[in-house]
């Protein structure tokens, strides 16, 4: 049998040869990109668990019709947070600047199965950009999610935070993206999501916590500078 070679001038991450014996269930080329295959081999050498090993419960939500907003939605003051992809962040902390709210009837009726409680792990499973962005519901939290996010019940908030820290790392993101399907709108189905290898190392969480604290301090400093500049502009224009 003749052997094939690829010109060294070609990008090896885009043009590569795969033996038939190396094929798994997937036939799309992205799943077999050499860089991702090598990364997964290194991760598997650590004898990791799979995400499914930490799951006590799993669900995704739905989006009530916005054309019937009075039936499903509510104002912030008397509503339940309705989390979407934009509310998740790579720091693992939920962001509520652009948060919608649903009423209690929707929360306890139509979306009862996807309710979110304190300590739950929330993971992005659909959409462009980074895949498997993960955040953890804070203490005392009660909320819900749409169909582009899944809620994972684990044994503890600490476990959820550790999982989020790994999934938000570049390694976790590449492992998740390798398993996603779809062209213009990538998605992770449950089997693919739960198959992600997880290296459980609390040092990762410590690094993320330090970075998150620094980010928060920078945000506070930025807000102070913006407020100061606004006051100076007002003084110039009105005095």
pTM equals 0.83
pLDDT in tens, 75-114: 999 999 999 999 999 999 999 989 999 999 999 999 999 9
Residue 116 lies in a domain: yes
Residue 1: is its pLDDT beyond 50?
no
Residue 48 lies in a domain: yes
Residue 136: is its pLDDT beyond 50?
yes
Radius of gyration for the alpha carbons in the chain, expressed in angstroms and rounded = 22
Give 44's DSSP letter. H
The enclosing domain of 173 has a CATH number of: 3.90.220.20
Q: In the chain, what percentage of residues exceed pLDDT 70?
A: 97
> Could you tell me the two tokens for 180?
């996603």
pLDDT in tens, 189-213: 999 999 999 998 888 888 887 887 8
Residue 236 lies in a domain: no
Residue 239 lies in a domain: no
Residue 9 lies in a domain: no
Residue 7: is its pLDDT beyond 90?
no
DSSP-based three-state secondary structure for 97: coil
Residue 25: is its pLDDT beyond 80?
no
**Crossing angle, helix 170-179 and helix 34-44, to 10 degrees?**
120
Distance separating alpha carbons of residues 153 and 164, to the nearest angstrom: 13
- The range of the structural domain enclosing residue 205 comes to 20-228
Residue 4 lies in a domain: no
| Per-residue confidence band for 143, with pLDDT thresholds at 50, 70 and 90 | very high
| Overall number of domains in the chain | 1
- Token look-up 């089997």 returns 191
DSSP string, 118-172: TT-EEEE-BSSSSSS-EEEPPTT-EEEE-TTEEEEE-S-HHHHHHHHHHHTSHHH
Residue 47 lies in a domain: yes
Lowest mean pLDDT, pick from 16-25, 95-104, 147-156: 16-25
Residue 233 lies in a domain: no
């Amino acid at each position: 049998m003749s052997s094939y070679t690829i010109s060294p001038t070609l990008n090896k991450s885009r043009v590569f040869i795969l033996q038939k014996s190396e094929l798994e269930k997937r036939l799309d080329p992205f799943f077999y990109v050499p860089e991702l295959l090598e990364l997964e081999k290194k991760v598997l050498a650590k004898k990791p668990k799979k995400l499914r090993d930490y799951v006590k419960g799993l669900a995704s939500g739905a989006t009530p019709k916005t054309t019937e907003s009075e039936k499903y939605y509510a104002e912030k003051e008397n509503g339940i947070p309705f989390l979407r992809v934009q509310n998740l962040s790579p720091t693992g902390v939920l962001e509520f600047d652009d948060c919608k709210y649903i009423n209690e009837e929707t929360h306890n009726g139509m979306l009862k199965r996807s309710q979110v409680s304190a300590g739950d792990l929330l993971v992005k499973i659909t959409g462009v950009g980074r895949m498997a962005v993960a955040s953890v519901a804070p203490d005392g939290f009660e909320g819900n999610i749409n169909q582009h996010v899944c809620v994972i019940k684990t044994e503890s908030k600490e476990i959820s935070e550790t999982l989020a820290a790994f999934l938000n790392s570049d390694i976790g993101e590449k492992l998740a993206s390798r398993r996603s399907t779809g062209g213009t709108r990538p998605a992770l189905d449950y089997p693919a999501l739960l198959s992600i290898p997880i290296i459980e190392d609390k040092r990762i969480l410590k690094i993320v916590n330090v970075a998150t604290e620094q980010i928060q301090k920078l945000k506070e400093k930025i807000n102070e500078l913006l407020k100061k500049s606004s006051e100076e502009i007002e003084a110039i224009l009105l005095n």
